[in-house]
Structure 1
Amino acid sequence: MKKRLLVTALLLSACSQLPTERSAKVETLVIPSQVEQPAEPEEVVIENSDTTEAVATDFEHIFVDADMSFTGTLPCADCPGISYHVNLYRDGRFEARQEYLDRNQVNLVKGIWLLEKRSLHLVNQQQPLPGFHFLTNNTLAMLDLSGKPISHNQKYQLSREAEFKKLDTRQAMLGLYKLSDNQASFTSCRSGDVLTVANTQHHLPVMRQYQQDERFRGQAVVATLIGRRGQDDQATTLFIDKFEQFWPGAICPDQQQPGKMQGIVWRAEKLTNRYVPQQLNVRVIFDQNERLYGFAGCNSFNGQYKQRANQLTVQPLVSTRKFCADSSELEQQFTQSLQSADRAEVNGDKLQLFKNNQLILQFKPAVN
């Protein structure tokens, strides 16, 4: 009986204790928790609008992927301003119209454009043009002398046109006109280019006037007019928009070595201390036969003069009698000053007339 109780106790003891060897072999299986991925940012879509399209790229570059027109008037040191029309073509070309206000001077310039990030350079061999900087896709700011954009002053900025605009290529011209067998040519005094004159309605009166004047007889005569060159295959053709007048006895001015007083079409630049608006086309020529004639802004005039060394005497002028509200007052002052001059000097490219040693009129050779 005691033997059976002992065996039972031993069995109960074995069931209540875990063996140390087995516990050492138990491996805990660790299941890694799922790693949370950061949420992807939602894509922000900006609708097209005038505002978003005008914002420049964040990469500091501008891409000219369409033909663009920029216009505006920039300040000028000695004139009311310079009107600009710049066309940028996506193939790398540019065309520009540069018009000096109150000077009747228009420069038509062609070349290639270069972009350095946002800085725009207009490269040509005709006329120096300022550099610009794209403030936005719609605004060009002129670069200062150090190459930095003038962004704080809108007077130095050009604005993009909503639609591409063709360039106005009309300009004042002075050159040698010659008619032969009803075909006319025009040689520009400024560039030397020889152009064929198109037989349009504006050209026919010019042809008749030339044919009726016996002094011309097939000779080249200096003429002034408003005209434009053709495009593409008509680049050597001149289209006359407005004819002004012939200048018998005149020659093309030498831009490098200004000549004497005679034979040059002189454009009035200053009347005493007042600049003469160039769009009035106040001009005069002193011919070799001691006669003078010209245009005073509203009326044509002619007369006689005598010159001995620098001494000058102008006889009373004969003039047409039209009235022009925007020029008659200045015209009267001009003709009075011209008739009162007692001395004439050609200094550099300027013709200066004096009275009692006081400068009263200043001219420069007309090249258009």
Structure 2
Amino acid sequence: MKKSLLLAALVLAGCSQLPAPETSSPAQVSSTELLSQPLTDDIVPNSATTEAVATNFEQIFIDTDVSFSGTLPCADCPGIQYHLNLYRDGRFEIRQEYLERGDINIIKGIWLLEKRNLHLVNQQQTLPAFYFTSNNRLAMLDLAGKPISSALNYQLQRENEFVKLDSRQPMLGLYLLQDNQATFTLCQSGETLAVANTQHHLPMMRHYQQDERLRNNAVIATLVGRKRDNERGESQLLIEKFEQFWPNAACPDPYAPGKIHGIVWRAEKLAGRYLPQQLNVRMIFDGQDRLYGFSGCNSFNGSYQQRANRLNVAGLASTQKYCSDSSQLEQQFTSSLQAADRAEVNGDKLQLFKDNNLLIEFKPALN
């Protein structure tokens, strides 16, 4: 009975709404009184959870120009260096650089966002899709659009600030100068660009005009350049560095493999190892039993004889510049070239052998 009475009393006390005693209004409380009040226990301590920025995990909004970068795995090279720019107007630009292979792709198009999936759309090339794991990180998806489960890094990190794309790249194409107006037709895409008359173009023009083998002909040339649109919206080529002309060369024909002569070959591997991309080691066997090229620091030329697959290179001569970063590899390349006794074209690869041991492996230079 006593317990029942006690419980009833507690319930009545909890339900009663007695007026609170009168106190001073907040405006009348002095700062000294506020500072003297004890701190409450409602403060949540710092942690990774409380410091995290709130995110809408269903949608990502790109309302400013952003840059992502990183190096992703590559099947037959040390990695592919990505620089991806997403523009808030729906455009994208991406630079893919295949490390130690010398291949650089500059691709433009539009991006589409499906919740957190990012699709990069280009009519000529298929690009991987990505997934926003956070506002600052993109993860590559596989061909089925699923996350890639791997110990390797397949993620691009957002840059703190927007970074302009470096659109310079090695190029190979047909150069033609007529009435002081030059055009350059890219072997890889077939696109013809007007060449801007800049200071880096002048040495190329003089070389072309002074060499009777080149003048008034469309000649294969290698250079480093970038494309831009002029004030009329027309694409132009800005030459950053002219490398050399390749008389008697033609654009490689992907439908006619097996041909050795008349193709600019780029050395991919030397003694089974990839050559550093910046060396741009290239050469050509012309149709007159002569060969010439660039071995990473110096230009060289010589003669050769070929009977079926048998090869003999002789009389190799080169310029005598010294380059600390390439001279050792250059010497190894030229020694291997002169030692080769057999040449074979397997698919799109030109392979040089000595006593059945592979010395040098080339691929047609597309840029």
Q: Is 1:176 the equivalent of 2:170?
A: no
- Show CA shifts across 1:76-124 (max 9, x none): 1221111111111223222111111111111111222222221112122
CA distance in 1, matches of 2:149, 2:103: 28
Largest Rg, 1 or 2: 1
Q: What is the match of residue 266 of structure 1?
A: 265
TM-superposed CA distance for 1:244, in Å, is 0.4
Q: Is the 8 A contact 2:84 2:93 kept in 1?
A: yes
- Cα separation, partners in 2 of 1:85 and 1:53, compared to 1, 3 Å: farther
**Distance in 1 between the 2:123 and 2:256 partners?**
22
Seen in structure 2, the aligned counterparts of structure 1 residues 73 and 235 have a Cα distance that, compared at 3 Å, is farther
- Provide the rounded CA distance (Å) in 2 between the counterparts of 1:125 and 1:52: 43
CA distance in 2, matches of 1:339, 1:235: 46
Closer, same or farther: CA 56–231 of 1 in aligned 2, 3 Å: farther
Report the 3-state secondary structure (helix = DSSP H, G, I; strand = E; otherwise coil) of the residue aligned with 2:153.
helix
**Which residue of 163, 166, 174 corresponds with 2:164?**
166
**Secondary structure of the residue that 1:102 maps to in structure 2?**
coil
Alpha carbons of structure 1 residues 306 and 151: separation in structure 2 relative to 1, 3 Å: closer
Which is further off, 286-295 or 357-366? 357-366
Query: Which among 204, 208, 211 is matched to residue 210 of structure 1?
Result: 208
Structure 1 stretches lacking a partner, 5+ long: 1-32, 36-50
Q: Are 1:331 and 2:330 an aligned pair?
A: yes
Question: TM-score, normalised to structure 2's length?
Answer: 0.82
Give the Å deviation of 1:155: 2.5
Matched, 1:314 2:313: yes
Superposed displacement of residue 239, structure 1? 0.4
CA–CA separation in structure 2 for the residues paired with 1:117 and 1:69: 19
Give the Cα–Cα distance (whole angstroms) in 1 for the partners of residues 366 and 154 of structure 2. 29
Q: Tell me which residue corresponds to 1:293.
A: 292
> What does 1:248-287 correspond to in 2, within 5 Å?
248-287=247-286
Amino acid paired to 2:224: I
Which residue does 1:27 correspond to in 2? none
Deviates more, 1:194-203 or 1:109-118: 109-118
Q: Which amino acid aligns with 2:293?
A: G
The aligned residue for residue 97 of structure 1 is 95
Counterpart position of 2:60: 62
Contact 1:94 1:111 in 2 (8 A): yes
* Structure-to-structure mapping, 1:22-171, within 5 angstroms: 55-58=54-57, 60-145=58-143, 147-150=145-148, 155-171=153-169
Counterpart of 1:288 in 2: which secondary structure? coil
Q: 1:117 to 1:181 in 2, by over 3 A?
A: same
SS in 2 for 1:317: strand
Deviations 1:272-299 (A, max 9, x none): 2112222211111000110000011111
CA 1:52–1:86: 2 relative to 1, 3 Å: farther
- Structure 1 CA distance, aligned partners of 2:152 and 2:269? 31
Partner of 1:15: none
Q: Superposition pairs for residues 352-367 of structure 1, below 5 Å? A: 352-367=351-366
Q: Once the 2 structures are TM-superposed, how far is the Cα of residue 359 of structure 1 from its aligned partner?
A: 1.6
Query: Which amino acid is 2:308 matched to?
Result: A
**RMSD over equivalenced CA pairs, Å:** 2.2
User: In structure 2, what is the equivalent of residue 228 of structure 1?
Assistant: 226
Q: Deviations over 1:233-270 (max 9, x none)?
A: 45421000000000111100012322511100000111
Q: Which amino acid in 2 is paired with 1:149? A: P
- Shift in alpha-carbon separation, 1:176–1:53, aligned structure 2, 3 A: farther
Q: Which runs of 5+ in 2 are unaligned?
A: 1-14, 18-49
- The SS at the match of 2:96 is strand
Cα deviations by residue, 1:28-79 (Å, 9 ceiling, x for unpaired): xxxxx999xxxxxxxxxxxxxxx98964314x11112222211111121221
Amino acid at match of 2:80: I
Taking the aligned partners of 1:181 and 1:111, their CA distance within structure 2 comes to 35
CA distance in 1, matches of 2:346, 2:79: 27
Q: Distance in 2 between matches of 1:151 and 1:52?
A: 28
CA–CA separation in structure 1 for the residues paired with 2:95 and 2:325 = 26
Partners of 2:337 and 2:255 lie apart in 1 by 27
Query: Any conservation in 2 of the 1:250–1:265 contact (CA below 8 Å)?
Result: yes
- Is the partner of 1:185 in helix, strand or coil? strand
Identity of aligned residues (%): 68
* Cα 1:55/1:286, change in 2 over 3 Å: farther
| Cα distance between partner residues in 1 of 2:218 and 2:330 | 30
The whole-number CA distance in structure 2 between the counterparts of 1:75 and 1:166 is 24
Question: Do the aligned residues in 2 keep the contact of 1:55 with 1:137 (CA within 8 Å)?
Answer: no
Q: Taking structure 1 as reference, are residues 54 and 297 closer, same or farther at Cα in structure 2, changes over 3 Å only?
A: farther
Secondary structure of the 1:258 match is: coil
Is this contact kept in 2: 1:109–1:126, CA < 8 A? no
Residues of 2 paired with 1:142 and 1:172: CA distance?
27
Cα distance in 2, alignment partners of residues 335 and 312 from structure 1? 15
Aligned equivalent of 2:32: none
Counterpart code for 1:176 = L
- The answer to whether the Cα contact below 8 Å between 1:54 and 1:138 also exists between their aligned partners in 2 is no
Q: In the alignment, residue 112 of structure 1 is paired with which amino acid? A: I
